[in-house]
Structure 1
Amino acid sequence: MSMERRSYVVVCAVLLWMSIASLGSAQKLDYKLALSKSLLFFEGQRSGKLPPTQRMTWRKDSALRDGHEGRVDLTGGYYDAGDNVKYSFPMAFTATMLAWSIIEFGDGMGDEGVRAAEALRWNTDFLLKATAHLPNTVYAMVGNPYSDHDCWERPEDMDTPRPVYAVNTTHPGSEVAGEITAALAAASIAFRSSDPAYAQLLLSRAKQAYHFANTYQGSYNDSIGHAVCPFYCDFSGYQDELAWGGAWLNKATNSQKYRKYVDRAIRKIKLMEEITGDHYIDTEFSWDNKHAGTYVLSSQAGQYKTEAQTFACVVLPESPTRTIKYTPGGLIFKTQASNNQVTGAVSFLALVYAKHLAQAKGTITCGNTKFPPSKLIDLAKSQVDYILGHNPLRMSYMVGYGSKFPQHIHHRASALPSLHAHPSFIACKDGTPYYSSPKPNPNELTGAIVGGPNNGTDYYDDDRNRPSQSEPTTYINAAFVGVFAYFVNH
């Protein structure tokens, strides 16, 4: 063999070895580590007086007078995303997903099960405060979103107005009360064995919240829309929350006491679908839309099995009736804003439904094609692996996971220096240079999963000026907690 030929063979062998080594390395994903980091993220979102066990130590106490303007105690809870406002609606959905994760996949969490319970309790403690004035009032929001969004300010420095927004019997908010119902009912199941007294309190309050939501029906868009819209405007209506809350109460009470309310809400939803022709909403699941979640949850009790099958058929890549889109790299694509919330929610539902079908020895029928439940597990795994680095950019969309991850996330506390590094007050507009800085965020918000790639592509612009891609939210992470927990042991 000539010297040139030998050199060529050696180079090809080296390149092949490097390719195989790279592939092998890419395949080694640590789901247990991802689970641990995804729960740590919630400590970075805490509002109120932080406990001695706080591990994300660059965060400090904040918003200690929340509720004061309304003469109530609304301290605690979570900032929903990268700003400093607290919204009960998405916060409650976050709690529901954390609780459902514990219920379905808590056995796979190991030591992280304690952290998951802590993350959930920090949330439900706030929701108990938000519903402390039932049967007449539910607190839906704390903070002026316009003044808050006008500032790039640490939560510890916050000096913008903190008004309190409530829904009541004359200005109802069935979606926020319905989601709080689901959260408290689901959490009552999650805490039933570890803290029975707390679980009973949660269930009792869930029943009160549902009575309020059902008796005084109406959207908080109409009651406090000037505050919640366009940030967390309810686009899907409130009947899905009435169905969702009732379904969770049925599960928590181990009865069908609330089924008539669930059925009535779903009939109204389907009637509206017939009128508008928007049948696609039947298969969505997010902080705003509970349709698919209600069907999958109800299918565990033998109800709405056809609708649960429809959900599976519209998301499975091989399904002849698939309607959901995927990026060229294989990520579910549904929305231009924080698309990873859909990725996590669909992946979680896929695993829950697959688990139920496997136990029932069922299959998925899409047109003339049948699929085993394992296809749903394959789908969820493809999505979680994409998030953790199996994607065209070979980057993780979770901050602090892997060697390449977002460095410029849209998050005030992370992007501004900590109190330890900069003890003096940073005023509203004094934070703007940090927002505009090309430098990476000084504080790592470990475990935060950002919104994701841009507009149906596999491209991610690591830019805090693009919140649709670079902003993390509690409800993105909450869904992935259960997904990571499943794959720890599978």
Structure 2
Amino acid sequence: MPLFLPSFSSLHFLLSLLSTTLLLCHSFPNHDHHPGPPRFASHNYRDALAKSIIFFEGQRSGKLPSNQRMSWRRDSALSDGSAMHVDLVGGYYDAGDNVKFGFPMAFTTTMLSWSVLEFGGIMKGELQNAREAIRWGTDYLLKATAHPGTIYVQVGDAKKDHACWERPEDMDTPRNVYKIDKNTPGSEVAAETAAALAAASLVFKKTDPTYSKTLVRRAISVFQLADKYRGSYSDGLKPFVCPFYCSYSGYEDELLWGAAWLHKATKNPMYLNYIKVNGQTLGAAETDNTFGWDNKHVGARILLSKEFLVQKVQTLHDYKGHADNFICSLIPGAPYSSAQYTPGGLLYKMSDSNMQYVTSTSFLLLTYAKYLTSAHTVVNCGGTTVTPKRLRAIAKKQVDYLLGDNPLKMSYMVGYGPRYPRRIHHRGSSLPSVAVHPGKIQCSAGFSVMNSQSPNPNVLVGAVIGGPDVHDRFPDERSDYEQSEPATYINAPLVGALTYLAHSFGQL
């Protein structure tokens, strides 16, 4: 006799009633005034944040510390700079090769610092890891600027490096050192280095005031070099820096960006005056809406709009308009929209390393949303009102696509989610580690691995790669550096964006 059936049915009925009630409750908007996104997170943003930071340990050059967590990496390039009798050990390899390029390294450091300055207060346990990632960059930039009037901007011959496929630990290609000075100016790399040192000085202001002061003093002198001896490093060092990190946007955007960071770090009215006097000639009103290692116009606009919106510096009123123009260019269907999106919804700027524009734009959207909220204002795009909430929703959609909400259900962050790229264009990740294969792997011996279909033996956790093409396709081929190569400047702005999302969903 089925004695327990009625009670089981009743229980089942009660449970379904309860779940329906819960579902209905959550169907209605909550009326609290928190401007954050909806209450259900489709991703573990906290996990992604931790991984986005640990990635930088995989890119470290030099003598690794005892607390190194990316354990398949070992010491490398321990005599960098010795050819010029200068210590240039340390810093980061920018991407999948073994060259140290000062221009993208400085930008990476600036963006990691900005991520911490805007969102460090909610980073919780990841804050210390983020600070260490910044300090690995600034320690190197201090070495690169230690000789007054000179900045060492590159270590390694990129063409010879690219002719080998070898681990950084085995590297035997020439470690030539390239510098800028008054005879070979490089205003864009000097001003970006000044921006990095100034931004980082604010990060360490409370935790290490002595280090902070060292950073800001160096930033001031480096900016003077950038401004006094104007010229592009792509001219004087063309055979060595091009086509890798040529400056296509000129150096004016970096002078404005560097001055903005020095104004923020020093509070010296001289920099505000510099921005007022030179803003227009340095391209403040440029309509270029790209933000990345080469072009800083949009970043400078957003950064300076904060001074107007939050600090109420009336003389910077125009930057709110300049920033709004950038925002309007991104809004699908808005009157001035010019951004291209893939069918799956990913912002698409260019075929080579497109994900860097996704992460930098997401960061700027969340940061500008923060400033707008603080000032109780919105963006007006030719009659279309765009709220901070809308900006956050767009940023979230981009980050979610990156983490796996896309037609391929592929996470473009290595080690996050069930499906991610296995054959990334990265020498250290693709070749057996020193622990597994202690013997040296010769220059060209690695190409058999590079051209193979086998997955990379070492997982470069947290690495965000170039990403899919304009049709949301991704072949996962190691030789395809445009889509499969990670880079420090892809990850750096993502750290801030993931912090915001993790916190707003109660994960941090």
TM exceeds 0.5?
A: yes
Deviations 1:164-187 (A, max 9, x none): 000001110000000001100000
Q: Could you tell me which residue of structure 2 aligns to residue 170 of structure 1?
A: 183
Which of 6, 29, 43 is the equivalent residue of 2:57? 43
CA contact (8 A) 2:283 2:297 kept: no
Q: 1:453 to 1:265 in 2, by over 3 A?
A: farther
Decide which of 122, 126, 134 is 1:112's aligned counterpart.
Answer: 126
- Answer yes or no: is the 8 Å Cα contact 2:220–2:262 preserved in 1: yes
- Compute the displacement of 1:256 (Å): 3.2
Secondary structure, in 3 states, of the residue corresponding to 2:380?
Answer: strand
Deviation at 1:442, TM superposition (A): 0.5
Q: 1:232 aligns with which of 238, 241, 245?
A: 245
Q: CA deviation at 1:260?
A: 3.3
Is the Cα–Cα contact under 8 Å of residues 84 and 177 in structure 2 kept in the other structure?
yes
What is the aligned partner in structure 1 of residue 389 from structure 2?
Answer: 374
Q: Which residue of structure 2 lines up, in the alignment, with residue 429 of structure 1? A: 444
Structure 2 distance, partners of 1:437, 1:371, is: 48
Q: Distance in 2 between matches of 1:50 and 1:420?
A: 15
Given candidates 98, 113, 132, the residue that maps to 2:146 is 132
Query: Counterpart in 2 of 1:23?
Result: none
Match of 2:303?
Answer: 297
Q: What is the rounded CA distance, in whole Å, between the counterparts of 1:50 and 1:257 in structure 2?
A: 40
Task: Check the 8 A contact 1:242/1:261 in 2, yes or no.
Answer: no
Which of 475, 478, 487 is the aligned partner of 2:489? 475
> Is residue 321–residue 367 contact of structure 1 (8 Å, CA) maintained in 2?
yes
- TM-score, normalising length from structure 2? 0.88
- C-alpha change, 1:336 and 1:183, in structure 2 (3 Å) is same
Q: Give the aligned residue type for 1:145.
A: A
- In our comparison, the structure showing a higher alpha carbon Rg is 2
How far residue 318 of structure 1 moved from its aligned partner, in angstroms, is: 4.0
SS of the residue corresponding to residue 410 of structure 1 reads coil
CA-based RMSD: 1.4
In 2, Cα distance between equivalents of 1:444 and 1:62: 19
Secondary structure class of the residue paired with 1:140: strand
Offset at residue 315 of structure 1 (A) = 1.1
Is residue 252–residue 283 contact of structure 2 (8 Å, CA) maintained in 1? Answer: no
Aligned pairs (5 A) from 1:299-378: 299-302=305-308, 303=316, 304-378=319-393
- Structure 1 distance, partners of 2:42, 2:373, is 27
In the TM superposition, structure 1's runs of 4+ consecutive aligned residues that sit over 4 Å from their partners are: none
Partner of 2:81: 67
Deviation at 1:254, TM superposition (A): 2.4
Q: How many residues align?
A: 457
Alpha-carbon distance in 2 for matches of 1:436, 1:449: 21
SS of equivalent to 1:385: helix
1:146 pairs with 2:159: yes
Query: What TM-score does the superposition give when structure 1 sets the normalisation length?
Result: 0.92
Q: What is the Cα deviation at residue 371 of structure 1? A: 1.5
* SS state at 1:430 partner: coil
Cα deviation per residue 1:26-65 (whole Å; 9 max; x = unaligned)? 9630000000000110000000000000011100000000
User: Does structure 2 retain, via aligned residues, the 8 Å contact 1:240–1:266?
Assistant: no
* Whole-angstrom distance in 2 between the partners of 1:319 and 1:109: 34
Any conservation in 1 of the 2:354–2:466 contact (CA below 8 Å)? yes
Unaligned runs of 5+ in 1: 1-25, 274-278
The residue matched to 1:258 in structure 2 has which SS?
helix
- How do 1:11-30 residues align onto structure 2 when only pairs under 5 Å count? 28-30=42-44
Say if 1:440 and 1:240 are closer, same or farther in 2 by CA, change over 3 A. Answer: same
Counterpart code for 1:288:
D
Instruction: Give the distance between the partners of 2:275 and 2:178, measured in 1 at CA.
Output: 28
Alignment of 1:360-439 (within 5 A): 360-439=375-454
Note closer, same or farther for the CA distance 1:191–1:318 as it changes in structure 2 (3 Å cut). Answer: farther
In 1: Cα distance, 2:340 partner to 2:109 partner: 28
For 2:223 and 2:158, the matched residues in 1 are separated by 27
Shift of 1:152: 0.1
Matches within 5 A, 1:438-453: 438-453=453-468
Shift of 1:373: 1.1
* Structure-2 change in CA distance of 1:355 and 1:102 (3 Å): same
What pairs with 1:81-92 in structure 2 (closer than 5 Å)? 81-92=95-106
Superposed CA offset, 1:453-486 (max 9, x none): 12x1211110011100000000000010000001
